[in-house]
Structure 1
């Protein structure tokens, strides 16, 4: 087997910023995630309605010009959602991207509630869920 260097960059959160946006709007989680990609700010509601330490001289949640990514994710969501970011958000996410290397947004379901995890194809950036469950046995 030949060695391979992976050059796919990820950025994301455990999901509280997306949940906070959804709580204050009529956006779905994937729409909120896409909005934060367009705004280039992972947590636009912090520290106003999302608790965090208030920084005076900088915003650590801003995605700077030098930070590009291919996969933008939020965890702890109700269900799996996957969306290719719109051209404007994709260009903001990865300025050097070509059509073949566009950015995607993925909502990852809360494993504790759904027993699902997300599998991501690193070749195509498509995703799907894998559900874990326990089969009922003979009184075990």
Structure 2
């Protein structure tokens, strides 16, 4: 999703904060794939579009990002959505732990013999 939006940007190197902004914009636009079918293979749907967000999620994320980034999006009516840019485990040697009750998240690094909690 984020990579597809970046295709329309004239700068080949997109700063990480801009990736977080793309994720937030997709939430505001209520579109999981805003560039579909221009940059993503997809067929048009006749009755409804399954890539439209109809209910506001509690967590909205994109994987395979360069680094771990997170923030809380504050929408209308006191709605809060945890936004997550999650890096590839193969490249970062880390995973993300998300507490579903509090929506707090932590990066856990496996670069050493003992897993390290990164705050």
TM-score range for the pair, normalised by the shorter chain length: 0.7 to 0.9
CA distance in 1, matches of 2:49, 2:104: 31
Give the secondary-structure state (helix, strand or coil) at the position aligned to 2:103.
coil
* Structure-2 residue corresponding to 1:124: 102
Stretches of 4+ aligned residues off by more than 6 angstroms: none
Higher relative contact order (CA 8 A, sep 6+): 1
Structure number with bigger Rg: 1
Match of 2:26, SS state, is helix
Residues 80-91 of structure 1: matches in 2 within 5 Å?
80-88=68-76, 91=77
The TM-score with structure 1 as length reference comes to 0.66
Query: TM-score, normalised on structure 2?
Result: 0.77
Once residues 2 and 100 of structure 2 are traced to their aligned partners in structure 1, the CA distance between those partners, rounded to angstroms, is: 24
The answer for the alignment partner of 2:46 in structure 1 is 56
Instruction: State the match for 1:7 in structure 2.
Output: none
CA distance in 1, matches of 2:64, 2:25: 18
Q: Which runs of 5+ in 2 are unaligned?
A: 114-119
Q: CA RMSD in A?
A: 2.1
Structure 1 residues 134 and 20, CA gap change in structure 2 (3 angstroms): same
Structure 1: give runs of 5+ residues left out of the alignment: 1-16, 92-98, 136-140
For residues 74 and 41 of structure 2, the distance between their equivalents in structure 1, rounded to whole angstroms, comes to 29
Q: 1:33 aligns with which of 23, 38, 44?
A: 23
Cα deviation per residue 1:76-101 (whole Å; 9 max; x = unaligned)? 1111110111324xx5xxxxxxx4x6
Answer 1 or 2: which has greater strand percent: 2
Residue in structure 2 matched with residue 22 of structure 1 by the alignment = 6
Per the TM alignment, residue 134 of structure 1 is displaced from its structure 2 partner at its CA by 6.2
